[in-house]
Amino acid sequence: MTLWAPSLQNINSRSDLTEVSDLLNGLKRHPIAISPWKGYAAPVTAAFSIAHGQDCILLKYFVREPFSIPLYHKINDPVYKDSCVEFFIGFNQETKYYNFEFNNAGTGLMGFGTKNERAYVAEAVIRQIKYSCSFKNAESEGLACWELVLVIPFTAFCFHQINAVSNMLCKGNFFKCGDDLSQPHYLVWNNIHSARPDFHQPEFFGTIDFG
């Protein structure tokens, strides 16, 4: 699957998050709707919009699901056990890739490496990522709606020297999960074929065209 992420050349990593959020609201939303593994059905819908600015990647997630309280609040905590959205990306067909994971409090986890050899990224690097998380209840339906805006500066890709993504071959995937929720679930943007839940499957990354 190929995804087109437009350029927003008036936006950079210092731009106001409200402005970024409004711009991402106007872009195409891509569903995270494939459930590759049986036995993990849950009333969850998720989507995202994506673009890039002068020196950053811009992401916004839109989630609707049963209410859950986030338990993890420290950087590089296991946020995937909470209600969590994730973004994995690799460059130029390298075997190593980055994973960005955020729970519904905006707490982040970031790693880099190959599928089998990964390391957490330093807290100081993760703190470069700007985020805004908004949350509201849809009481009439017994669901909660939350949105997460991310501004990921190119400097967060700390094992590379990236000045632009428009000239790079980028592969990635987008996820929604909640390992320890009352209704665990694993949703993906680009389908994964494996026996058990595992997002670390770079062979199933789709192409991201930063136009």
- CATH code of residue 137: 2.60.40.1190
| Residues 103, 185: Cα–Cα separation, whole Å | 14
| Residues 192, 198: Cα–Cα separation, whole Å | 9
Instruction: Output phi, psi for 157, to 5 deg.
Output: -80, 70
pLDDT at 38: 95
Note if the pTM is more than 0.85.
yes
Name the nearest CA neighbour of 119 among 159, 163, 90, 177.
159
pLDDT at 139: 60
Structure tokens at 17: 């998050």
10 CB-contact burial (10 Å; exposed 0-12 / middle 13-18 / buried 19+): exposed
Q: Per the structure, how many domains does the chain have?
A: 1
Structure tokens at 139: 């009481």
Instruction: Output phi, psi for 132, to 5 deg.
Output: -145, 125
Which of the residues in the chain have pLDDT under 70?
137-140
Sign of the alpha-carbon dihedral angle for 171, 30, 80, 165: positive
pLDDT at 1: 93
pLDDT at 140: 60
Domain region containing 76: 2-210
| Residues 82, 188: Cα–Cα separation, whole Å | 16
pLDDT at 138: 63
pLDDT at 135: 84
